[in-house]
Structure 1
Amino acid sequence: MSNPIYKDPAAPTETRIKDLISRMTLDEKLGQMTQIERSVATSSVVKELCIGSILSCGGSGPFENATSADWADMVDLFQKSALESRLGIPVLYGIDGVHGNNNVFGATIFPHNVGLGATRDHDLVRTIGEVTAIEVRASGIHYDFAPCVAVCKDPRWGRCYESFSEDTDLVRKMTSIVKGLQGDPPEEYPKNYPFVAGRTNVVACAKHFVGDGGTENGVNEGNTVSSYEDLERIHMAPYFDCISQGVCTVMASYSSWNGTKLHESHYLLTQVLKEKLGFKGFVISDSEALDRLSHPYGSNYRKCVLSAINSGVDMVMVPLRYELYLEDLTHLVETGEIPMSRIDDAVERILRVKFVAGLFEHPLSDKSLIDFVGCKLHRDIAREAVRKSLVLLKNGKDPKKPFLPLDKCAKRILLAGAHADDLGYQCGGWTATWEGKSGRITKGTTILDAIKETVGDKTEVIYDQNPSSETLANQDFSFAIVVIGETPYVETMGDNSELTIPLNGNELISSIASRIPTLVVLISGRPLVLEPDVFEKIDAFVAAWLPGSEGGGITDVIFGDYEFEGRLPVTWFKRVKQLPMSAGEKNYDPLFPIGFGLKMKLVHNMS
């Protein structure tokens, strides 16, 4: 007996979809619309409910410091359970690999998007997508919830660092990462059709649709107030590029547009995204987003499910209450409140992505990819990204006497600040855990490590997080490097209405720079307030963003092996009360405008 059509890789994708849908029960269809967290995903649940997708929320892995091989083993066990279901539909396993495969110990961690925006190098960003895809697939995972293509209009937003820029055109250029993650569709490929090239590529996800970077006062999950024309021009435009590159999925935003939550906006999810823009992949909810649709339904979860599915959400990232979700979804379909046509549309979209991703032919992990995880080539690419992301904002108190580059053969160097030897601080949020954390959380090179590798044998490097006045007065330092910045944060926990430098950063700078020639390196996901009297004291200032695991990229530049190339992807404001502010506005009066970046040769580079 021959295999059914849907199992024939030579059959057209749409034919395979039609054949498989015709064989599915209602329960199997609804299972495909369900994404659950690995912590509640048992073998029997995956098999019996025909679960469509599993995810690992931030920090949710097999065990602490699990390697890619450990992850692949775990994912394969889930996949084998799915393949034992009646129809053998593989699960799509998802993860937030937002700056490399950041959940997995030993993976290459790239700069966060704000740093990549500073490079303005769309070819490099595409390569980073390719590397990330390989390292994600090495862990057995097929689906990456990236890229974030938000246009951040206010640095008070806790997800500012997930945005490439406040400039829509720059964000659009950086969508080249989609081709890196998924591969490049052939020229003759159907317009706006999902595409995944091969077994070293992943299903990508453009997020968060739409306007999440434009909420009032930068409040996470807040309300974006704008005309449709401005929403389309500023915030929606990057999705045009993602869709044209074959992006497979789009994630709806927690935020609202003019008071309507995106997860229940039929107009934006269905009429605009699917019909006007021609998106043919599937729309996925954000985690527990349906639980947030409280108004006007209160605690009526069933009404939330009804609103989201009928508005155009195809797959729901539940991720824990899957039994209640499926119970309510089943009731809504059986009573006709959600039409069967809406269910079939959602399932067709989900199956389309699974077919183009090759999951039916290659559902299990490819262990040969494990050797590439964190390899020298990948770390060299990350190091290049760090180099190109660095923005020089000051170089010398006298323009005719530049302070940088630093002397590798200096007699004695003082290194200060908690961020100088903290890999977790260097990587920021979405690293090892959801919120990120301090310490040697993965493999990599701290700034202290990198300085020791860079300077001459006779150079003494003194690391003191917070040197005393006595230390500063009694030791003959050639110069000081002070590395300060933000501690890791994510989402709402990162919303910040003050944007001052944490951990007494200004006091540390002042105490050192008043005695020793000083370079300040700021590790942050956004511009922070630079007090004029403090900024005046220092000799040089570098915005290093959240550089990731390869601290050597910083020393490559500050010691003169490479020139500064980075330019501000966002406006550097003077005072918080100026926010929000954008280039082109009538009262635009920044400390440094978007596009600013010095060279050590003292050439201003503005755009």
Structure 2
Amino acid sequence: MGTVCPSPLAVLVLLFICLEASVASSSGVPLYKNPSATVEARVQDLLQRMTLEEKVGQMMQIERSVANPSIIQKNFVGSIISGGGSVPKDRASPTDWMDMVDGFQKAALSTRLGIPLMYGIDAVHGHNNVYGATIFPHNIGLGCTRDPDLARRIGEATALEVRGTGIQYVFAPCIAVCRSPSWGRCYESYSEDPDLVRKMTQIIVGLQGKPSKAGVPFVAGQHNVAATAKHYVGDGGTYHGIDENNTLSSFKSLVNIHMVGYFDAIAKGVSTIMASYSSWNGKKMHGNRFLISHVLKKQLGFKGFVISDWQGIDRMLSPPNLNYTYSVETGVNAGLDMIMIPFDYVTFHDDMIALVKSGYISTQRVNDAVRRILRVKFSMGLFEHPFADRSLTGMVGAQEHRELAREAVRKSLVLLKNGKSKNDPILPLSKHASKILVAGSHANDIGRQCGGWTITWQGQAGNITPGTTVLDAIKSTVHSSTQVVYEESPDTSFAKGKGFDYAIVVVGEEPYAEMLGDNTNLTIPDGGIRTIQNVCSSVKCVVVLISGRPLIVEPYLPLMNAFVAAWLPGTEGKGITDVLFGDYQFEGKLSRTWFKSASQLPMTVGDKYYDPLFPFGFGLTAMAVEGR
């Protein structure tokens, strides 16, 4: 084998790093602690100082509930996570969060090399784990706005609220292309259309800031956070929409449908990418070396780090944990850099050390993983600013963010019917009616209005966080002389016999997340159907559907005078009344196909036998009324 000569560029880079190291060492300060040095020089300097145990620690992400200063110091933990609903205490304040995160950070900085940790959280529609935060519409609604700049502004607001609790890292955005609404995560997807998903990756620029160099991990400053594009790759295309299932496709289809959003995410400098629980043609993504190491890292040039999903290593075999050591070996060798363990960190740590020492995982693979993690940490300025900025606590739930969320709600609403005939529209509604009925399980319930991933993983019914319900929004919008009557489940005699001018019926799905939301039935829950039938057969009615996906409505559509898809709008219910009463016009256009029956699924725009109830891109306009 002949001698391989390094390129002139490689020699220059190496000389530059050596020069920087010489200057740093002469000053007595390690190069990696010098903020004026290049990121790559700092990474190299720190990496060569680290023991195997310290490197493995950087690859570990553990749950806050099992973390304490001793564990962080002993295991050199690189990252901590709050799972859904995992909080410092019930209704924790921003200061409570900061105190917790800074406490963990002090422990990390007290280790031999003082490497700061990253604290990560799911902030998928605002800072949704935190009581009092602004909850934005879920992505399915934002896709209906078709407004990338709005997505960017939501990213900026979310970053400020996350930083307002001392956290620097979010597991967002989800850039899945959901092909079947049966999938329990479909509301986390902007659209069934990959081009629309690509446009909405602009949220990354809001979260992280605008990168100066395409393709390099980038976080602009202490008002921004490291973002995660997820879930790589094909999570939205699984068989029958079953969560964590198998995506059957050619490589070309995988790229053209499910991978193109990652092109944009990488170009925007996304810091991390999360692997999908799902499989591609039978091979688990967490163990797919071709797609992670060859395609993502080598061909697409991704320079940040790849993180597993929650217990993603455990779930590589069935049943989970069948052979944990094998799964660690396979996942890390496939290209996973940081492992969201999140609980059994001792087993992971010991297995990793043993696998490296026995040669099953190479030192080069570990160095590559840690190099990527350190690159992101240096790029975010974490070594210079490891602690929370206490001046940002007021950003959590800030009024300007709530106004932005209200704007997002009204732009996301899709008007699907207005009038039983074209010449008899009911919208916009009069604010000066004598007496109106508000009905339905979702009319006065913030938890149902927000959906899953709100305060807890699955979300729940009830007024679980501050916000404005649809009922409260109606009451504050209509004239003071208008009598607003709320009855959650009225019978026909009540609806017919009280002299109502019109009714607003707000019904929908119960909150859910991930696999617990998988559903092949896709009907409105029985109570909602009954309310629609009782009210809309008795009085003029507008039905507002709160749901994470299209549902079967065709049998009940003739009863309705108007029908509005509101998706999962979040805490700012006034965005709904803004358009119902004509202060703003409807702008939303369907980001996914509305089917007639579940037997048609999966059905997406462009299919040969495309026969929807409402096609992709559909949305009526009811003009705003001047002076209302």
Structure 1 length-normalised TM: 0.97
1:515 aligns with 2:538: yes
1:539 aligns with 2:561: yes
User: How far off is 1:367 after superposition?
Assistant: 1.1
Please point out which of 162, 178, 192 is paired with 1:136: 162
The letter for the 1-side match of 2:488 is: Q
The letter for the 1-side match of 2:411 is: K
Residue 591 of structure 2: aligned partner: 569
Residue 185 of structure 1: aligned partner: 211
1:550 aligns with 2:580: no
Residue 427 of structure 1: aligned partner: 450
Residue 465 of structure 1: aligned partner: 488
Residue 302 of structure 2: aligned partner: 279
User: How far off is 1:262 after superposition?
Assistant: 0.1
- Aligned partners of 2:584 and 2:623 also within 8 Å: no
- Aligned partners of 2:276 and 2:309 also within 8 Å: yes
Equivalent residue runs for 1:26-425 within 5 Å: 26-186=52-212, 189=213, 191-294=214-317, 299-425=322-448
User: How far off is 1:288 after superposition?
Assistant: 0.4
The letter for the 2-side match of 1:22 is: Q
User: How far off is 1:2 after superposition?
Assistant: 2.3
Give the CA RMSD over aligned residues.
1.1
1:437 aligns with 2:477: no
Please point out which of 523, 537, 551 is paired with 1:528: 551
Secondary structure of 2:437's counterpart equals: strand
User: Structure 2: how far apart are the matches of 1:357 and 1:473?
Assistant: 61
User: Structure 2: how far apart are the matches of 1:355 and 1:298?
Assistant: 34
Q: Which one is further off, 158-167 or 286-295?
A: 286-295
The letter for the 1-side match of 2:595 is: F
Please point out which of 501, 518, 524 is paired with 1:495: 518
User: Structure 1: how far apart are the matches of 2:125 and 2:480?
Assistant: 34
User: Structure 2: how far apart are the matches of 1:118 and 1:297?
Assistant: 37
- Aligned partners of 2:314 and 2:321 also within 8 Å: no
Per-residue deviation, residues 553-598 of structure 1 (Å, max 9, x unmatched)? 0000000000000000000000101000111111000000000000
Per-residue deviation, residues 193-212 of structure 1 (Å, max 9, x unmatched)? 10000100000000000000
Please point out which of 34, 37, 46 is paired with 1:8: 34
User: Structure 2: how far apart are the matches of 1:152 and 1:295?
Assistant: 25
Per-residue deviation, residues 473-494 of structure 1 (Å, max 9, x unmatched)? 3200000000000010000000
Secondary structure of 1:419's counterpart equals: coil
User: How far off is 1:504 after superposition?
Assistant: 2.3
User: How far off is 1:344 after superposition?
Assistant: 0.2
Residue 9 of structure 2: aligned partner: none
- Aligned partners of 2:428 and 2:623 also within 8 Å: no
- Aligned partners of 2:492 and 2:538 also within 8 Å: no
The letter for the 2-side match of 1:233 is: N
User: Structure 2: how far apart are the matches of 1:4 and 1:24?
Assistant: 13
- Aligned partners of 1:218 and 1:495 also within 8 Å: yes
User: Structure 2: how far apart are the matches of 1:315 and 1:503?
Assistant: 44
Per-residue deviation, residues 183-242 of structure 1 (Å, max 9, x unmatched)? 0012xx2x4110000100000000000000000100000000000000000000000000
CA pair 14-114 structure 1, distance change in 2 beyond 3 A: same
User: How far off is 1:471 after superposition?
Assistant: 1.7
Per-residue deviation, residues 493-539 of structure 1 (Å, max 9, x unmatched)? 0000100001422221111111100000000000000132x210110
Residue 479 of structure 2: aligned partner: 456
Q: Which one is further off, 61-70 or 265-274?
A: 61-70
User: Structure 2: how far apart are the matches of 1:336 and 1:354?
Assistant: 28
The letter for the 2-side match of 1:178 is: I
User: Structure 2: how far apart are the matches of 1:473 and 1:448?
Assistant: 20
Secondary structure of 1:393's counterpart equals: strand
The letter for the 1-side match of 2:617 is: G
Residue 11 of structure 2: aligned partner: none
Secondary structure of 1:386's counterpart equals: helix
The letter for the 1-side match of 2:193 is: D
User: How far off is 1:468 after superposition?
Assistant: 2.7
- Aligned partners of 2:419 and 2:562 also within 8 Å: yes
The letter for the 2-side match of 1:435 is: Q
Please point out which of 586, 590, 596 is paired with 2:618: 596
User: How far off is 1:298 after superposition?
Assistant: 6.8
User: Structure 2: how far apart are the matches of 1:297 and 1:529?
Assistant: 35
Per-residue deviation, residues 52-77 of structure 1 (Å, max 9, x unmatched)? 00000000010111121211111000
CA pair 297-473 structure 1, distance change in 2 beyond 3 A: closer
User: Structure 2: how far apart are the matches of 1:107 and 1:211?
Assistant: 31
The letter for the 2-side match of 1:516 is: V
Secondary structure of 1:344's counterpart equals: helix
User: Structure 2: how far apart are the matches of 1:399 and 1:203?
Assistant: 49
Please point out which of 578, 584, 595 is paired with 2:606: 584
User: Structure 2: how far apart are the matches of 1:400 and 1:296?
Assistant: 59
Q: Which one is further off, 374-383 or 287-296?
A: 287-296
User: Structure 2: how far apart are the matches of 1:376 and 1:192?
Assistant: 34
Per-residue deviation, residues 313-337 of structure 1 (Å, max 9, x unmatched)? 0000000000001111111000000
Secondary structure of 1:555's counterpart equals: helix
User: Structure 2: how far apart are the matches of 1:440 and 1:4?
Assistant: 52
- Aligned partners of 1:297 and 1:304 also within 8 Å: no
Q: Where does the alignment leave 5 or more consecutive residues of structure 2 unmatched?
A: 1-26
- Aligned partners of 2:218 and 2:379 also within 8 Å: yes
Secondary structure of 2:443's counterpart equals: helix
User: Structure 2: how far apart are the matches of 1:336 and 1:589?
Assistant: 56
Residue 605 of structure 1: aligned partner: none
Residue 5 of structure 2: aligned partner: none
User: Structure 2: how far apart are the matches of 1:97 and 1:502?
Assistant: 28
Per-residue deviation, residues 27-46 of structure 1 (Å, max 9, x unmatched)? 00000000000000011111
Secondary structure of 2:313's counterpart equals: helix
- Aligned partners of 2:582 and 2:623 also within 8 Å: no
The letter for the 2-side match of 1:540 is: A
The letter for the 2-side match of 1:70 is: D
The letter for the 2-side match of 1:173 is: K
1:25 aligns with 2:26: no
Secondary structure of 1:522's counterpart equals: strand
Q: Which one is further off, 584-593 or 462-471?
A: 462-471
User: Structure 1: how far apart are the matches of 2:117 and 2:614?
Assistant: 48
- Aligned partners of 1:297 and 1:303 also within 8 Å: no
User: How far off is 1:403 after superposition?
Assistant: 0.7
User: Structure 1: how far apart are the matches of 2:184 and 2:497?
Assistant: 42
Aligned structure 1 segments of 4 or more residues deviating by more than 2 angstroms: 295-298
- Aligned partners of 1:83 and 1:90 also within 8 Å: yes
Aligned residues: 598
Secondary structure of 1:289's counterpart equals: coil
